[in-house]
Structure 1
Amino acid sequence: MTLSSSLAPGLAAPLGARFDGDGTNFAVFSQHARQMTLCLFSPDGRTETDRIVLPERDGDVWHGYLPGIRPGQLYGYRADGPYAPEHGHRFNANKLLIDPYAKRLTGHPRWHDALYGYTVGHKDEDLSFDTRDSAPFMPKCVVEDPSFSWGDDVPPAKPMEESVIYEAHVKGLTAQHPGTQGLSGFLALASEPMLDHLTCLGVTAIELLPIHAFVDDRFLVDKGLRNYWGYQTLGFFAPDPRYLSEGRLREVQHAVARLHSAGIEVILDVVYNHTCEGDQMGPTFAYKGLDNASYYRLAEDRRHYINDTGTGNTVNMDHPMVMRMVMDSLRYWVETFHVDGFRFDLCATLGRTSAGFDPGSAFFDALRQDPVLTRVKLIAEPWDIGPGGYQVGAFPPPFSEWNDKYRDGVRRFWRGDDLMAPELANRITGSAQQFDHSGRPATASVNLVTAHDGFTLADVTSYVERHNEANGEDNRDGHGDNASANFGVEGPTDDPEVIAARALRRRNMLATLLLSQGTPMLLAGDEFGNSQHGNNNAYCQDNEIGWLDWANADCEMMLFVQKLIAFRKAHPILRQKRFLHSRERIVDGIEDLFWWREDGEQMTDADWLDADRQVICAEMRMASGTPRYAQREEALFVVFNAGGEVALTMPAPPEGWHWVSHIDTARPKHGTEPAGDTVALAGASVRVFVLEAA
C-alpha cells in the first residue's frame, strides 16, 4: 500500500504537522493556491521519497492525515498556483517550501540561484520564472513531538517593578566563558557557571536575541560573514538549529527550566514584522511560495512590497490567518517552552493598518484579551522606519516599551551637554511625559543606556566614532550619532587617568540606570566592561567582536553592579508603579518628590533653564496614592553631578532621623556612613543617601 492510498482527510486544525501517537496530521494555509503537495524526504534529507497531494480544503486550509508518520520524519511543501507577480502571486511548484508552523528545521538554506522563484540575472527580473528544483538547497521540516517532563517548574512571575532585565545573545554570552567549554547553544546557557553569574549579578530576567530559525543573508555569506543577531526569521515556531547542540527541542526546554529554578525569567526577542524573504528580488523559502498576496503587505502595483521595516517586506497583520500564525506562535512558546515574555522587534509595524499606526489595532486587541498571553511580559520596540513610525509612549497597556529617549538623555547628561538637567530629571522619574496616561505604570518605560544595537557601555566611554570596518560596508552602517565620549583618546589606552575617568563614567551611567523609576535593562557584558572595539552594529560579527570577552572582565565593575542591583531591590522607592509628581501624600502631607540645588535651596524655573546646570538632586518618597501598607521606607536622596566637586547641603532630616550615604560612584568600595549637614560631593559622581532612624 502506498502512502497516498493510506492518506485520510485529517483535520484543518491545528495548523502544522501534529503527531497523535499513530500518525501525523498535516495542515497548511493558502488562500490562493490551486493545489498543495506534501513532500516527504529520506532521513538524510537528500532524497524526496513521496509527493502527496493534500486531499482536503476547509476554507483556505489544506490538510491530510498519514498514519504511521512519526516524529523525525522530514517534510516540506510545494504549492501550485498562478505565477503573476503583477497581481501579487508568486507560486512556483518547483520550489520546496518550509511549513510556517514547522517545529524544527534540519538546518539553513544553502545559497543557490535555484532558491529564487524567478531566474536570477534574467532581463525580466522577478517577472521571469525559474524551473529548477530548490529542494537540494533547502532545509527540511521535521515532525516533532514537543512534549517535555517539566516536573515542578513554576515560572518566577516577577512583577515588572521587581524586574532587572539582562539582554543577551545565546552564543555571544557563552562562547568564550571558561566554564562553558565543550558546551554550546542552550546547553551552555543552562550550565552552572552561567546560572551562577546571572544569580550573583542579581538580574531577574534574561532577554534573548532572536532564537527563532533565521537565515544568513546571501550578501553576508558572500563576504564570509553570518547573520549573528538573527533578525531574519525563517520559521516562527522552530528554534534556530545553530543553538541546538543535539538537534532536540528539549534543549530549549531544559534551559528554560534551569533558568526558572534559579529564579530567572526568559524573554524572547521576536521578529514578526518581516521575514527573511526580502523584496521582489528575494528568495522563495516559504511565505512567498505559499501565498505571497496574503502573507505580505503589497504596494498598489501588487508586484512590490511595502517596506516599513527596512528589510524589503512587511508581514500583513491585517490578514486573519497571518495574525493567527503570530498568535499561535506566541502561545506555542509560552505553553510548550514556558517562556515568560516577548520583546517585539519593530513593534510599530505590528500595529499598522492601512491608515497607519493604531494603538487599538486588531493585533494589539488580540494580545490584550488572550488568556495565555496576558499573563506574560509584553515589551515593544516602539518604532519602525515607515511614515509615523516613531511611537514611544503610544502603546496600550499592558505593553512596556524600550525607551531610547532615556538612553540618549542619560548619555548626553553625563557627556556634559547643555540643558540636560531637566531631561535627566524627566528620565529618572519614569519619563512621565511619554508614559503617564491610560493607566500605564512607571514600569512601562524600559530604561536602557545600551543595547545590542549600538555601542557597548565600554565603547560609549572609549570611542567618538563608529569603527565598523569589519562589516564590509566601508564603515557606513550603524548609528552615526552615539552621544559618546573618548576622554581624549580614541579606543584603547594605557593612560591611567583616562582609564579611571572612563570607569567612573561607566559607573555613573550604570548607577543612573539602576536608580531610575522604570524597568532597567542591562546589556550583557556591560557589567564587566565588555568592548566590541568600536563596532556599533555587530549584527554580522559571529566572532570575537560580537562575543563577550570574559578573559578581560573588570571584576571590580561587576561587584559594583551587583551592589547597585542589590540596593535597588532593597529600596521600594526606586521601583514604583506610580509616578512621582511632587504631590502631597495623604499619609503624612509630605510631597513625594523634591528637587534641590546643591546649596540646599529648592530648584526654580530659572535653575531648570540654566544651560550650565550639571547637578540635580532628587529627594524621593513612596508616591502619592501609595497605600499605607506599602509605605515601607522614609526617603532617598539621590544626587547626579556631571560637573566638578561641590559642597552639597543636605535636606534637613526630621527629628530623630539622619541621612546615611550608601552609594558613591567616586568611591565604589566605600561602605555606609552618616552624612553631616554638608557633604563634599566629588566631581562627575552619583551619591545616594537613605533617611534612617538616628
Structure 2
Amino acid sequence: MTLPTFDKTSAYSDRLGAEFDGEGTNFALFSDHAERVELCLFDDEGAETRLDLPEMEGGIWFGYLPGVVPGQRYGYRVHGPYAPEEGHRFNPNKLLIDPYARQLTGEVVWNDALFGYDLSSGDDLTFDHRDSAPYVPKCYVTDPAYDWDADRALHTRWSDTVIYEAHVRGLTMQREDVPANLRGTFAGLASDAMIEHFTKLGVSAVELLPVHAFLQDSYLIDKGLTNYWGYNTLNFFAPERRYLRTGEWGEIKEAISRLHAAGIEVILDVVYNHTAEGSELGPTLSFRGIDNASYYLHGDDMRHCYDTTGCGNTVNVAHPMVLRMVLDSLRHWVQEMHVDGFRFDLASTLGREPSGFEREGSFFAAIRQDPVLARVKLIAEPWDIGDGGYQVGGFPWPFREWNDKFRDDSRAFWRREGGVKGALAERLSGSPVQFDHSNRPATSSVNFIAAHDGFTMWDTVSYNDKHNEANAEDNRDGHDHNLSDNMGVEGETDDKTILAARRRRVRAMLSTLLLSRGVPMLLAGDEVGNSQRGNNNAYCQDSEIGWTDWDTGNADLAETVQELTALRRAHDVLRESRFHGGTGIDWFGPDGHPVDEAGWQDDDLPVTMRLSGEDETLLVVVNGGDDAEVTLPEGNWERLFVSEPETGSLKASVLAMGWQTVAVLGRG
C-alpha cells in the first residue's frame, strides 16, 4: 500500500483542526508535551493508516495532505510520557478525537480499552496496551461551504428579547403537527408548525440545551437510561448526531436560516467548564490523551484533576491554547453556523483565576475584546460548586445572567409563603441590588420561574415533593428546595376546583415573569402546562417524562403568554433597559397611597407598581392574597390585561381584584 505523502510547502500551523482547501486537507493539533503525533486515517472498511505529523512549532503539530477530501475519517495517537504524578497520561494505544473536529461518525462503545490505565486494577498509575480504535467515534473532514443566501444576524435588542428554553429532541417528539420523520431533530425544531408556534407565542429567541457532541455515560446505559440533557461534552465543534435527520451538519444551518427568516434568534447552551472524560479515573477519549497537563486544571497534586464542576474535571481556560480552543469554538458556531448567542453552563468556572473568581479575568476579557463574540448574546449561569462560586450579579458587561433569585422569590410569593412581597418588588424592578452597578443595564437579569433543571411551572403547583424514582437513584438525586405547592393534591388530579386553582396561579406566575424588568425566559411547555410527573432532575429521561407534552388540556395558558408578550411589545415602559434616567417606578398600597413599612410586610395586601415613562404610564397590580379591592393612584385608568379575565372589574378608581391575580392598566 502506498502511503499518502505530506506536502510540507502547503502546511500551516495557524489554524487548528482539519481544514479542507479545495485540493487537500491541513491537519493541526496542539500538544505542548507530546513527543510524537500520529495522524490516523480510516477507510470505509475501518482499516487504519498511520502517518507522523511532520512539523511542529509552538506545541502545534501539523501537516498538509493533498487529495484528502471531505468525508475522510481520522483520529490521532499521541506519544509522550505516561507519568500521571506529573500530569502526563499519553498512551498511543488510544485513538483520540480531534478537539477541533467539525463532525464525528459513530458512538463511543464502552469497553475497558477506552481507559489509559488497566481498569480492572483500579490503579490509574498502571498502563493499558489495548487498542481503543474500535470503540471511539472517528473524526470527519468536512466542507464548510454553505449558501446562506440572504441570511443575516438579527441582533434583536435585549429589551425586545423573550427567550424560550427548549431541548431539540424533546420539544417535538410528541408534537403531532410536526412530520414524524422530523421529530426530535433540528429540522423538526424549524418546521412550519414550530415556527408558527414560536411566532404566535411572541418569543424572539430559542435557547437550546447542549447540541455539541456529548457522551452517553456507561452508568446510565447500564440502567437503561441515557444522558438526555447533554451536559457531558465530547467535542466543542461537532454537533450531536442524534439531532440530525441525515447526520449532516448542514441541517443545523438550514434550521437556523429558517428561524432567522421568521425573526427568531438561536442561542446555544454551551459547556466549556468540563468535558466527558471525567476525573483521572475516566476514559481517555481526547483531551486527556492529547495533553492532560494543558487541557485540564490541576491542583498541587498533578495526578488528580481539580474539580469545581462536580463532573470530575475542570477545563483549564487559563492556558492560552485552551482558551483559544474555546474562543475558536464560539467563533465557529457564530461564523459558520450563524448562531446568535450562548448561555454558558457553570460560568463561574470560566472566570476562575489562581486567586478565585475574577470578573475581569482572562476569559471574560478575551470575549469582550473579540470583534465577533462581543456582538452576540452572552448569558452566564453565574455559579459553580467551588468556593466562592455563587456570583449572581458579579459578571461583567455585556454578559447577562440567569437570576435564580427571581425564580425563588416568585415561587415563594405565589405559594403564599409570607414576608417576600418586598423581594418580589425587587424582582419586578429588575433586581437592582444585584445588577445596578458598574454601568450594567436592567436587562442584565434573565428572569425565569422554571428552567430545564428543576420543576416545570405546572409541577410547582402540582407537587410538594420531587418524584425522581424513574432516575433509578432511589429519589436521592435532584434538590429538595422546590418552593412548590400542590394546592391540595400531590400530582395529577381530576378535581376541577384544584385544576382551576392551578391554572390561576400559573397565569399569575406567567404574568410576573413577562411584566418584570429584565429579559424573560420561558421553559418550553410551560405555555401549555407541561408536567414531568414531579421529576425535577430529568437529565436522564429521553422519554415522555422529559419530552414536552402538548396534549395537557391547558392550552389556554398559551393565550395568556400571547397577551403578555403583545403587551410587552406595545409598551416601552415594560421593556425599559435603564435603571436610571428612564422609566420611573413607584409603589402604592390598596388604599392608593404609597406603600408603608407595614404594607410591605403583608403579602396578602395587593401592591401596585406604577411605571412612568416619557410618553406613557402603566399600572401593574399584583394580588397574591384573597379577593380584594384596590384604590388606584390618581388618574383615569382603563384595563389592559387581567390574568383572570372574568375578574378585575373597574369602577371609577376602584379595581376589584380576584384572588391571586395580576392586572395591567393604562391611562384612559
Pairwise same-fold verdict (TM > 0.5): yes
Partner Cα distance (1:601, 1:143) in 2:
69
Match of 2:643 in 1: 665
Match of 1:432 in 2: 432
Match of 2:104 in 1: 105
Shift of 1:137: 0.4
Matched, 1:598 2:590: yes
Partner Cα distance (1:136, 1:145) in 2:
25
Classify the secondary structure of the residue corresponding to 1:40: strand
Partner Cα distance (2:57, 2:91) in 1:
22
Classify the secondary structure of the residue corresponding to 2:104: coil
Matched, 1:646 2:637: no
Shift of 1:275: 0.2
Instruction: Tell me which amino acid in the other structure corresponds to 1:615.
Output: P
Instruction: Tell me which amino acid in the other structure corresponds to 1:620.
Output: L
Instruction: Tell me which amino acid in the other structure corresponds to 1:61.
Output: I
> Contact between 2:589 and 2:605, CA under 8 Å: does it hold in 1?
no
Classify the secondary structure of the residue corresponding to 2:237: strand
Match of 1:161 in 2: 159
TM-score by length of 1: 0.94
Partner Cα distance (2:589, 2:106) in 1:
61
Residues paired across the two proteins, number: 665
Superposition map of 1:34-433 within 5 A: 34-44=35-45, 46-48=46-48, 50-123=49-122, 125-180=123-178, 181-184=180-183, 185-433=185-433
Partner Cα distance (2:200, 2:597) in 1:
43
Unpaired segments of 5 or more residues in structure 1? 586-590, 623-630
TM-score by length of 2: 0.98
Superposed CA deviations along residues 441-469 of structure 1, whole A, max 9, x for unmatched, are 00000000000000001101000100000
Partner Cα distance (2:562, 2:5) in 1:
65
Partner Cα distance (1:433, 1:286) in 2:
43
Shift of 1:169: 0.4
Partner Cα distance (1:593, 1:81) in 2:
64
Matched, 1:31 2:32: yes
Partner Cα distance (1:573, 1:411) in 2:
24
> Contact between 1:253 and 1:338, CA under 8 Å: does it hold in 2?
yes
Shift of 1:552: 2.7
Partner Cα distance (1:221, 1:378) in 2:
34
Match of 1:683 in 2: 659
Superposed CA deviations along residues 540-587 of structure 1, whole A, max 9, x for unmatched, are 00111100112335221111111111111111111111126xx8x8xx
Match of 1:576 in 2: 576
Q: CA-atom RMSD, angstroms?
A: 1.4
Match of 1:482 in 2: 482
Q: Judge which range, 216-225 or 571-580, deviates more.
A: 571-580
Shift of 1:183: 1.1
C-alpha change, 1:570 and 1:673, in structure 2 (3 Å) is farther
Match of 2:599 in 1: 607
> Contact between 2:638 and 2:665, CA under 8 Å: does it hold in 1?
yes
Match of 1:637 in 2: 619
Classify the secondary structure of the residue corresponding to 1:568: helix
Partner Cα distance (2:387, 2:513) in 1:
31
Classify the secondary structure of the residue corresponding to 1:57: strand
Shift of 1:617: 1.2
Instruction: Tell me which amino acid in the other structure corresponds to 1:602.
Output: P
Partner Cα distance (1:242, 1:593) in 2:
48
Superposed CA deviations along residues 123-144 of structure 1, whole A, max 9, x for unmatched, are 5x11111111000000100000
Partner Cα distance (2:96, 2:483) in 1:
45
Classify the secondary structure of the residue corresponding to 2:423: helix
Shift of 1:315: 0.3
Partner Cα distance (1:605, 1:175) in 2:
51
Match of 1:628 in 2: none
Partner Cα distance (2:549, 2:436) in 1:
39
Partner Cα distance (1:156, 1:647) in 2:
44
Partner Cα distance (2:318, 2:241) in 1:
30
Partner Cα distance (1:2, 1:435) in 2:
64
Classify the secondary structure of the residue corresponding to 1:680: strand
> Contact between 2:603 and 2:625, CA under 8 Å: does it hold in 1?
no
Classify the secondary structure of the residue corresponding to 2:608: strand
Classify the secondary structure of the residue corresponding to 2:5: helix
Partner Cα distance (1:230, 1:100) in 2:
17
Shift of 1:680: 1.2
Q: Judge which range, 345-354 or 299-308, deviates more.
A: 299-308
> Contact between 2:165 and 2:207, CA under 8 Å: does it hold in 1?
yes
Shift of 1:359: 0.2
Classify the secondary structure of the residue corresponding to 2:119: coil
Instruction: Tell me which amino acid in the other structure corresponds to 1:12.
Output: S
Instruction: Tell me which amino acid in the other structure corresponds to 1:36.
Output: V
Match of 1:510 in 2: 510
> Contact between 1:421 and 1:614, CA under 8 Å: does it hold in 2?
no
Instruction: Tell me which amino acid in the other structure corresponds to 2:182.
Output: L
Shift of 1:4: 4.3
Superposed CA deviations along residues 257-310 of structure 1, whole A, max 9, x for unmatched, are 000000000000000000000001101110000000000001211111111001
Classify the secondary structure of the residue corresponding to 1:235: coil
Partner Cα distance (1:373, 1:6) in 2:
35
Of the candidates 601, 610, 617, which is equivalent to residue 608 of structure 2? 617
Match of 2:12 in 1: 11
> Contact between 1:445 and 1:518, CA under 8 Å: does it hold in 2?
yes
Classify the secondary structure of the residue corresponding to 1:422: helix
Shift of 1:674: 6.1
Shift of 1:612: 4.9
Superposed CA deviations along residues 4-53 of structure 1, whole A, max 9, x for unmatched, are 43453611121000001110000000000110000000125x321x1000
Partner Cα distance (2:352, 2:616) in 1:
45
